Structure 1
Amino acid sequence: MPLLATLVDDFTDGTLDTASRWSGSYGDLTETGGRAQIPCGTGYAGLKSASAYTLAGSAVHLQIFPADPTGAASAAASVLVLSATGGTDAGFIVDPAQNAVGCYLRSGYADGGAVFLTYSPADHRWLRLREAAGTLYWETSSNGVFWATRRTAASPAWVSETGLAVLVEGHRDAGPETPIEVDNVNAPPGQAVQLTAAAVTEGARPVGLAKVRTLGVAASVIDVPPIGLRKTRTLGVAGATESAQAVGYDLTVSVGAPWSDWEVGEPW
């Protein structure tokens, strides 16, 4: 029971895989310039997978380039997940002739709750139908990375079937036949990210080295001795000198004569 997300094709090998991936296809389809091309004329042509997938807990996304609508009142590209019951399906119908994108959940080929968007070639370049935890999501993107939710609905029981198929079909009411192009079915967008210039730049050091910054001239300079030696400072001449005693002796000072003479042993 493969999930729909396992159906992957980026159309880069120049040969449309109608033997396995797109075994249900009809009409004069080609793979050219890295895209599948589906005729959009007054008849019908479709890129259709095998009926072998389930949508429950999965999704399908792709990049769509609708047909040139010149000369037509309607030139539709239908992108649908089909159930085993005809007319019971879900997905998108992109019609540049009517400048519209419809988000459909159909039963008997009808959906009274369909949601319609004004078609934008940029904003609706990518389409995704996704199921998660009992809810269906219709999503669009300009780059295949950031997605906008356009509609949600309770998942019908058929999303858990194991015989679902993906169909991209082209049809127009009038005008010359022109192709619908499809790319990157469940494949990553493969677009480069364009970065703006950095506001601040600094020279980087190789990995493992520290960044250095040149310092200005110091305001004052003191000679620093080599590591392991002490810094010395030359002292000036002392303001006063005294004779030092040998270690263990007290410093003595001569005492002058008393204010008056007293005889030893004479009472006061």
Structure 2
Amino acid sequence: MSVAKNDYKRITVKTLVDMKAKGEKISMLTAYDYTMAKIVDGAGIDVILVGDSASNVMAGHETTLPITLDQMIYHASGVVRAISRSLVVVDLPFGSYQSDPKEALRSAIRIMKESGAHAVKLEGGCEIKESIKRILNAGIPVMGHLGLTPQSIYKFGTYTVRAKEDTEANELIENAKMLERIGCFAVVVEKIPAKLAKEVARQLTIPVIGIGAGNGVDGQVLVLHDMLGMTHEFNPRFLRRYMNLFDDMTTAIEKYVSDVKSVEFPNENEQY
């Protein structure tokens, strides 16, 4: 049982800021449905991200772009019903906030009202500042996201490491400071140099959560299906697989098929 699970009965945005102040690392994983979220929450995770990565993991799309606001609300609703401890953050999907602050607010309100989530996450910096401010002014907590922003994949054309050059690195630091200044409670930094991520965490008083950003930040996030080894095509350097469920599940299903075919299942004790 984790120290965090003993200390905190319910994680809030204030809890996360307090954890950073105390030097306590923040654990964060994705989840997209009731059953998995129940397990993740029970294991003591601090933050559950209902990520737009559901577009890849749950629906098989190549990018995160196709998932809709209605679909995000559907996934988030199941997750919220499962949890008793974790903070639930939901991604605003592509097209629901970038062009119009009023549309951004409507999208965020729908997520909060219809799913019961605790916060939303948006990708980007100064270009979406007004959308973030509009959402914050409505009393909705916002988590930022900088570095590699998957919703902009067609703009950058690659999932390579971001902010390796000084100009982009400085811009990222300024955007992170801006997100803190306008009221975001935390920032995710994805696939940026570890040295830069550590500097961002040093300069901010709000938590900085990393994915592919080294261990100098305030916490870590991974996609649940990746870290459990349910996926096997995705092999970035930052991913640690804690299980190999792809092989284990395949073996179990093959055994089930074999038992059904041979009438080994069900046996006399497994019928009425």
State the TM-score bracket (shorter-chain normalisation): under 0.3
| Structure with greater proportional strand content | 1
Higher relative contact order (CA 8 A, sep 6+): 1
Q: 1 or 2, which has the higher helix percentage?
A: 2
Question: Which structure has the bigger radius of gyration?
Answer: 1
